[in-house]
Amino acid sequence: MATSKKIIGTPIKIGKLEIAQNDFPNQMNWNDAKDACTKLGDGWRLPDKDELDFLYKKKDEIGCFENFSYWSSTEHETDNGYPGAWHQNFIGKQSYSNISYTTYVRAVRTL
């Protein structure tokens, strides 16, 4: 529970979205990222592709993002047919990768 409070911190509210104040402490694969966000409880989840792009556009207002990729909940099969999901690079680019890759995670919930 202490980890949950540290990650959620003082959530940032923008529009209809509430954003956890902090990233999870370790990069993780997509399945672990989805599970970790859900385990925060009370509606916390991994943002979808469009929400993640919104977080990128508001990154200066939200703060505490790494200049690296963050997972979204939006699935997308990779070019070689493996399960994949979209991620957002916090220097601006969205793309998709195999769900086994590890990257950063920030939880959100709908208000």
Mean pLDDT value across residues 67-95: 91
Q: Delineate the domains of the chain, giving CATH numbers in brackets.
A: 2-110 (3.10.100.10)
CA–CA separation, 26 vs 39, rounded Å?
15
Report the share of the chain in percent with pLDDT over 70: 98
Report the share of the chain in percent with pLDDT over 90: 86
pTM score, whole prediction: 0.91
- What dihedral angle (degrees, nearest 10) is formed by the CA atoms of 79, 84, 90, 92? 40
Q: What is the mean pLDDT of the chain?
A: 94
Tens-digit pLDDT profile for residues 11-60: 999 999 999 999 999 999 999 999 999 999 999 999 999 999 999 999 99
Considering only residues 3 and 24, tell me which one the structure prediction assigns the higher pLDDT: 24
Going by pLDDT thresholds of 50, 70 and 90, the confidence category of residue 3 is confident
Return the biggest CA–CA distance within the chain: 41
Q: Where are the beta strands (DSSP E) in the chain?
A: 12-14, 17-19, 69-75, 84-89, 94-98, 108-110
Residue 2 confidence (pLDDT) above 70: no
